Amino acid sequence: MKREYALVDEPDRRLLQAIQRDASASQAELAEAAGISASLVSRRLSRLRESGVLRAVVGLVDAASVGLSCGAIIRIRLKDHAAASVRQFRDLVTRMEEVTLCVMLTGEADYLLKLIARDLPHFQEIVQQKLLRCPAIAHLESSIILEYLKDTTELPLGAA
């Protein structure tokens, strides 16, 4: 099945790149970055939102600054791939505010999670009280994040 892409021209790409870098930039700054007039910025952003290209404009919070100093990557293997097991796991993960990323994978693990906790004891509590109590999970392997070499939400729009 062929994927339908929204019509995004070069000024749209530059506008999206600028807003990814700093969503609090003024319309004048966004216009300059996109190479369009300031009056066009609002219309283009509205069109990009309506088409689903621009999902949200958010502020990024530094986790350590708000007392969340423990990050972890967790690989999950489900006991089976029956609809009930998958649903049970997905329901748990979508309710867990500590999970900031969950992706389905190919290979040995079925899912990969990124989890943020206050500290190591809090991380242990989350794993033991939430994840390990989920009957759908057969195996869990975690790695504590020691250093973030790159942590971005920016998409490589120049390569599109």
Q: How far is Cα 12 from Cα 18, in angstroms, rounded to an integer?
A: 10
Shared domain check, 37 and 78:
no
Type of residue at 75? R
pTM of the model: 0.87
| pLDDT given for residue 159 in this prediction | 63
Q: Which residue has the tokens 């293997």?
A: 77
Q: How far is Cα 159 from Cα 151, in angstroms, rounded to an integer?
A: 19
Domain of 37?
Answer: 10-50
Q: Is residue 153 part of a domain?
A: no
Shared domain check, 40 and 69:
no
Shared domain check, 41 and 92:
no
Shared domain check, 68 and 16:
no
CATH of the domain at 41: 1.10.10
Shared domain check, 87 and 109:
yes
What is the helix (H) or strand (E) element at residue 88, kind and residue range? helix 83-95
Shared domain check, 103 and 35:
no
CATH of the domain at 134: 3.30.70.920
11, burial (CB in 10 Å: exposed 0-12, middle 13-18, buried 19+) = middle
Q: Is residue 132 part of a domain?
A: yes
What is the helix (H) or strand (E) element at residue 103, kind and residue range? strand 99-104
> Which candidate, 139, 140, 82, places its Cα nearest to that of 115?
140
Per-residue pLDDT tens, the chain, 160 aa: give them: 555 676 899 999 999 999 999 999 999 999 999 999 999 999 999 999 999 999 999 999 999 999 999 999 999 999 999 999 999 999 999 999 999 999 999 999 999 999 999 999 999 999 999 999 999 999 999 999 999 999 999 999 986 5
Shared domain check, 135 and 96:
yes
